[in-house]
Structure 1
Amino acid sequence: MDRRLNPIAATLLAAFAMPVALQQSACAQTAQASETALPEVTVRDSAEAPYKTEKAASPKFTAPLLETPKSITVIPAEVIQQTGATSLVEALRTTPGITFGAGEGGNPIGDRPFIRGYDAGANTFVDGVRDTGSQTREIFDIEAVEVVKGSDGAFGGRGAAGGSVNLITKAPKKENFSSANIGVGTDNYKRAAVDGNYLLGDNAAIRLNAMVHDANVPGRGQVDVSRWGFAPSLKLGLNSPTSVILSYYHMQSDDLPDYSTPYKNSGAGRTKANPDAPVNVGRQFYGLTGRDFRKTQADIGTVQVQHDFGDSLVFSNTTRYGRSTNNYIVTNPDDSAGNVANGKLWRSSKNRDASTETATNQANLSGKFATGSVKHSFSTGLEISREQTSVGGYALLPASGVSGRPCNTAAFASGDCTSLNNPNPSDKWSGTILRSPTVTQTTTNTRSVYAFDTLELSKQWLANLGLRYDSYSTTASTPAYIRTVPNGNGQGANAVGATVPGVTVKNDANFWNYQAALIYKLTPDASVYGSYSTASTPSGVSTGDGSDNISAANQNLAPERSHTYEIGTKWDVLHKKLSLTAAVFRTEKNNARVPIDANTVATAGKQKVDGLELGIAGNLTDKWQVFGGYTYLDSALVDNGSFGTNAANNGNQFPNTAKNSFSLWSTYQVLPKLTVGGGAFYMSHVFGNAANTLYVPSYTRFDAMASYVLNRHVTLQLNVQNLTNKLYYDQGYAAHYAHQAPARSAVLSANLVF
Structure 2
Amino acid sequence: MIRRRLISAITTGATLAGGSALAQPAQQAMTDEIVVTGRYQADKLSTPQHALPLVDTPQSVTVIADDMMAEQGRRTLRDAMRNITGVSFQAGEGNPPGGSDAFNVRGFSARDDIFVDGIRDPGNYFRDPFYAERIEVTKGPASAFAGRGNVGGTVNIVTRQPQMKNRIGGEVGVGTASFYRGTADINQVVNADAGIAVRLTAMAHSAGEPGRDHVENKRWALAPSVGFGLDGDTKIILSYLHLRQDDRPDAGLPNGRNFSLGGSGFEGRVAPVDRSNFYGYATDYRDVETNTVTARIEHNFSDSLSIGNITRYARVHNDQIISSPRFVGTVTSLGPNTQAVGNRKPRNQVDQLFINQTNLTATFDTGAIKHTLVVGGEYVDESNENRRRLDANGPATSLFNPVLQSAAPIAYNGTRARTDVESAALYVFDTIELTEQWNIVAGLRHDWVKTRARGFDDVGTLPNFAIDYTIKDSEWSGNAGLVFKPTTNSSLYVAYGTSFEPGSGAEVVQLAGGNNNPPVTGANFFVEPETSQAWEAGAKVELMDGALQLSTALFQIMRDNARTPGVNPGDPAVVLDGAQRVRGLEVQAVGRVTARWNLFAGYTHLDGKVTRSNRPFEVGQRLDGAPAHSASVWTSYAVTDDLLVGGGMQYTSRRNSNVRASATADFVIVTPSYTVFDAFAEYQLTDRVSLRANVYNIGNETYFYSFASGQSIPAASRSGTLTLSFEM
Q: Under a length normalisation based on structure 1, what TM-score does the superposition of the two structures give?
A: 0.87
Deviations 1:331-373 (A, max 9, x none): 1111373357242112221121111111111000112111122
Aligned length: 680
Distance 1:224 1:40 in 2: 34
Distance 2:510 2:464 in 1: 22
- Equivalent residues in 2 for 1:555-574 (5 A)? 555-574=525-544
1:500 Cα offset (Å): 4.0
State the partner residue of 2:663: none
Deviations 1:441-485 (A, max 9, x none): 2111010011111111111111111100000001011123447xx
State the partner residue of 1:253: 245
Cα contact 1:286–1:347 (8 A) shared by 2 = no
- Equivalent residues in 2 for 1:347-366 (5 A)? 347-366=342-361
* 1:386 equivalent among 375, 378, 381: 381
* Residue type of the alignment partner of 1:418: T
Q: Alignment partner of 2:725: what SS?
A: strand
Given the superposition, is the C-alpha separation of residues 265 and 451 from structure 1 closer, same or farther in structure 2, using an over 3 Å criterion? closer
* 2:548 equivalent among 578, 587, 600: 578
- Equivalent residues in 2 for 1:130-149 (5 A)? 130-149=120-139
State the partner residue of 1:26: none
* 2:119 equivalent among 118, 129, 132: 129
* Residue type of the alignment partner of 2:101: D
1:619 Cα offset (Å): 0.3
State the partner residue of 2:580: 607
Deviations 1:139-166 (A, max 9, x none): 1111110101011111111011111111
The answer as to 2:170 corresponding to 1:180 is yes
* 1:424 equivalent among 403, 417, 421: 403
Given the superposition, is the C-alpha separation of residues 256 and 501 from structure 1 closer, same or farther in structure 2, using an over 3 Å criterion? closer
State the partner residue of 1:509: 473
Deviations 1:205-262 (A, max 9, x none): 1111000000001111110100000000000001110010011011010000111101
Distance 2:612 2:583 in 1: 16
Distance 1:741 1:515 in 2: 37
Deviations 1:368-419 (A, max 9, x none): 1111221111212110110011112324666xxxxxxxxxxxxxxxx61101
Consecutive unaligned residues of structure 1, counting only runs of 5 or more, are 1-37, 399-414, 484-496
* 2:625 equivalent among 632, 656, 661: 656
Deviations 1:500-519 (A, max 9, x none): 45111222100000111111
State the partner residue of 1:226: 218
Cα contact 1:391–1:544 (8 A) shared by 2 = no
Q: Alignment partner of 1:291: what SS?
A: coil
The answer as to 2:233 corresponding to 1:241 is yes
Cα contact 2:221–2:243 (8 A) shared by 1 = yes
Given the superposition, is the C-alpha separation of residues 499 and 507 from structure 1 closer, same or farther in structure 2, using an over 3 Å criterion? closer
Distance 2:382 2:8 in 1: 46
The answer as to 2:436 corresponding to 1:459 is yes
* Residue type of the alignment partner of 1:600: A
- Equivalent residues in 2 for 1:137-286 (5 A)? 137-202=127-192, 203-264=195-256, 266-270=258-262, 276-286=268-278
Cα contact 1:354–1:545 (8 A) shared by 2 = no
The answer as to 2:685 corresponding to 1:710 is yes
1:288 Cα offset (Å): 4.1
* Residue type of the alignment partner of 1:532: Y
The answer as to 2:662 corresponding to 1:667 is no
The answer as to 2:334 corresponding to 1:341 is yes
Q: Alignment partner of 2:125: what SS?
A: coil
Given the superposition, is the C-alpha separation of residues 279 and 432 from structure 1 closer, same or farther in structure 2, using an over 3 Å criterion? same
Distance 1:156 1:166 in 2: 10
* Residue type of the alignment partner of 1:370: D
State the partner residue of 1:82: 71
Distance 2:638 2:156 in 1: 30
Cα contact 1:284–1:423 (8 A) shared by 2 = no
Distance 1:51 1:237 in 2: 30
Deviations 1:36-75 (A, max 9, x none): xx99974687544521111100111121111110111111
Deviations 1:409-438 (A, max 9, x none): xxxxxx61101111111x243x34211322
Given the superposition, is the C-alpha separation of residues 588 and 40 from structure 1 closer, same or farther in structure 2, using an over 3 Å criterion? closer
Given the superposition, is the C-alpha separation of residues 541 and 289 from structure 1 closer, same or farther in structure 2, using an over 3 Å criterion? closer
Cα contact 1:307–1:315 (8 A) shared by 2 = yes
Consecutive unaligned residues of structure 2, counting only runs of 5 or more, are 10-15, 23-37, 513-518, 661-666
* Residue type of the alignment partner of 2:273: V
Cα contact 1:481–1:500 (8 A) shared by 2 = no
Q: Alignment partner of 1:671: what SS?
A: coil
Distance 1:129 1:220 in 2: 36
Deviations 1:585-618 (A, max 9, x none): 0000100111115971011111100000011110
1:672 Cα offset (Å): 0.4
Distance 2:239 2:439 in 1: 37
State the partner residue of 2:447: 470
The answer as to 2:103 corresponding to 1:113 is yes
Cα contact 1:95–1:628 (8 A) shared by 2 = no
- Equivalent residues in 2 for 1:66-105 (5 A)? 66-105=55-94
Distance 2:490 2:380 in 1: 39
Q: Under a length normalisation based on structure 2, what TM-score does the superposition of the two structures give?
A: 0.90
Distance 1:78 1:63 in 2: 23
Given the superposition, is the C-alpha separation of residues 75 and 455 from structure 1 closer, same or farther in structure 2, using an over 3 Å criterion? same
Distance 1:599 1:229 in 2: 48
Cα contact 2:682–2:693 (8 A) shared by 1 = yes
State the partner residue of 1:438: 415
State the partner residue of 1:494: none
Percent pairwise identity: 32
Given the superposition, is the C-alpha separation of residues 379 and 690 from structure 1 closer, same or farther in structure 2, using an over 3 Å criterion? farther
Cα contact 2:343–2:391 (8 A) shared by 1 = no
State the partner residue of 1:410: none
Q: Alignment partner of 2:411: what SS?
A: strand
Cα contact 2:280–2:324 (8 A) shared by 1 = no
* 1:539 equivalent among 503, 506, 518: 503
Distance 2:529 2:421 in 1: 15
Quick check: 341-350 or 177-186, which moved more? 341-350
Cα contact 1:133–1:355 (8 A) shared by 2 = no
Cα contact 1:135–1:296 (8 A) shared by 2 = yes
Given the superposition, is the C-alpha separation of residues 336 and 310 from structure 1 closer, same or farther in structure 2, using an over 3 Å criterion? farther
Deviations 1:114-153 (A, max 9, x none): 1110001011101111112311011111111010101111
Given the superposition, is the C-alpha separation of residues 328 and 525 from structure 1 closer, same or farther in structure 2, using an over 3 Å criterion? same
The answer as to 2:608 corresponding to 1:635 is yes
State the partner residue of 1:24: none
1:546 Cα offset (Å): 8.6
Cα contact 2:347–2:387 (8 A) shared by 1 = yes
* Residue type of the alignment partner of 1:620: V
